[in-house]
Structure 1
Amino acid sequence: MKTDLRVLKTKDALHESLLSLLKERALESISITEICKAAKINRGTFYQHYGKVEDLFEEYFKEIMKDLAESYQAPYKYVERIETTKLNPATIRIFHHIEKFKKFYFIVFSKNVPLAYYYLLFDEIHVLMKEDFIAHQKIDKDVAVDMLSAYQSNAILGMVIEWYRQDFNKSAAEMNEQLVAILNLRLGG
C-alpha cells in the first residue's frame, strides 16, 4: 500500500518539530499544541496519526533504528563473515547513518538531555551486535556474548560521541577508515 505524499509531509513536519523542541526540553515536557504550532498543523491532524507525543517520538525513533540496523548490516551484503584485515571501509554504512540523522544524534549526545536517550540507542546497538556475534562471528567459549556485545556497542558509541564532540567535523568516509584502523590495531602484542 502506497503512503499518501501529504501524510509523509505531515509526519516529516511533526518529526522536525519534535526534534526542534527536544533541543530545548525533555520529551515529557513537550505538548501536542507546541508540536502542532511548530509544524503548522492542527491538533486534529496530529490525532489522526498519534495519540500522544510519546507515540510520535516512538515512530521517529523506530524509523531511525530501522535505518541503523540496515546500515549496520551493510557490510554483510558482500561477505558472510567479516575479517577486519580484509574489511573495505567503503562498505561500512553506520557513520553515513549518523550523518543522515545528525539532528537526532546532536540531541541524543547533548549533555542537556536525559541519559535515557543514550540507553535507548545503546540497547538497539547492543541487540545488533549480539545478533551479529551469534550469526557471523566465532566467539571463544570463555567470552560471554552479552559482555562482548556490550563492550563493542560502547566502543562504537564512544567513537560516535567523540565525533559529536568534534562537531562531526570528519566525513563518514574518514570515520569508516578510522574504525577499520582501530579494528585492526593490535595492542600490547
Structure 2
Amino acid sequence: MSKKLDRRKKYTRKVLKESLVTLLSQKTISKITVKELCEMADVNRSTFYTHYSDQYDLLEKIEEEIAEDMNQYLSSYSFNVEEESLQMTEKLLEYIKDRQFMFQTLLNENGDPTFEVRLRTIAQRFMINNWLEGQQLKEVDMTYLSTFVVSGAVHVIKEWIEYDVDVKQSPKEMAELINKFANEGLSCLE
C-alpha cells in the first residue's frame, strides 16, 4: 500500500510541476493561480496544498530539484585538469539541452530571477575553478572575473536555448565557443 501511495505522490508532484512550467511559458508566476494549476494538472486544491503552500513554493521546489540534479549530474564526471573546463561546460550544455523546454521557461522573462542566480552559482563552481588556478589575482579580482565570465556564459546559453538547439551549435561546439571567449576574450576576434 505504501508503494502505491508513493507512486501517487510522485505522479501528483510531477503533473503539478509540468503544469506550472507550461503556465510559466505563457505568463509570470504572479499571474498563475493555484486553481488554474490544479485544473491543468487535474488534481484537487486540497491535494495541491498537501504538497505545496502556493505556486511560489512549487516553483522553488522545481528550482531546488533542478539545481540538486544538475550538481549530481556534473559531480558524476571526472576529467583531467587540462580539459576540465571544456568538458564540464559541454556536460552542462548537454544537461540543459536535454531539458530545453524547462530551461527556456525558467530562464525567460516569466521565470524567477533567482533561478538564473542558482544556475550562475553552479556554473561558477564547475566551470571557473580551473580557469583561475595558478592565476596571480587577488581574491576579490577572482570573484569579479568569475562573475563576469559566468554571467556572459549564462547569457550565451540563454540565447542558445531560446531557439531550437539542434539547428544551432551542438553542446560540444557551444562549449568550445564559451571556453574560447572566456580564455581569449576579445582577442579571439583578431
Supply the AA of the counterpart residue of 1:6. R
The structural deviation recorded for 1:73 is: 4.2
Match of 1:26 in 2: 28
Structure 1 segment 68-79 matched on structure 2, within 5 A:
68-73=70-75, 77-79=78-80
The structural deviation recorded for 1:20 is: 1.0
Match of 1:164 in 2: 161
Backbone CA RMSD of aligned residues: 3.3
TM-score by length of 2: 0.76
Higher helix share: 2
SS of match in other structure, 1:70: helix
What CA deviation, in whole Å up to 9, does each residue of 1:55-109 have, x standing for no partner?
Answer: 111110111112333344455x234xx335x766488311112113212222234
Distance 1:88 1:164, change over 3 A: closer
Higher relative contact order (CA 8 A, sep 6+): 2
Structure 1 segment 1-189 matched on structure 2, within 5 A:
4-73=6-75, 77-79=78-80, 82-84=81-83, 89=87, 92-110=90-108, 112-113=109-110, 117-126=112-121, 128-129=123-124, 133=129, 137-142=133-138, 144=140, 145-168=142-165, 169=167, 170-183=169-182, 185=184, 187=187
Supply the AA of the counterpart residue of 1:17. S
Distance 1:140 1:74, change over 3 A: farther
Quote the sequence identity (%): 22
Once residues 89 and 144 of structure 2 are traced to their aligned partners in structure 1, the CA distance between those partners, rounded to angstroms, is 26
Distance 1:128 1:178, change over 3 A: closer
Distance 1:161 1:149, change over 3 A: same
Q: Which deviates more from structure 2 when the two are superposed, residues 30-39 or residues 96-105? A: 96-105
Q: Please, which runs of 5 or more residues in structure 1 have no aligned partner? A: none
Once residues 92 and 159 of structure 1 are traced to their aligned partners in structure 2, the CA distance between those partners, rounded to angstroms, is 13
The structural deviation recorded for 1:142 is: 3.5
- Check the 8 A contact 1:69/1:128 in 2, yes or no: no
TM-score by length of 1: 0.76
Supply the AA of the counterpart residue of 1:107. T
Aligned residues, how many? 181
Distance 1:105 1:149, change over 3 A: same
What CA deviation, in whole Å up to 9, does each residue of 1:106-141 have, x standing for no partner?
Answer: 22343x426xx345313442365258539x833423
Q: Please, which runs of 5 or more residues in structure 2 have no aligned partner? A: none
- Check the 8 A contact 1:90/1:173 in 2, yes or no: no
Supply the AA of the counterpart residue of 2:14. D
Supply the AA of the counterpart residue of 2:39. K
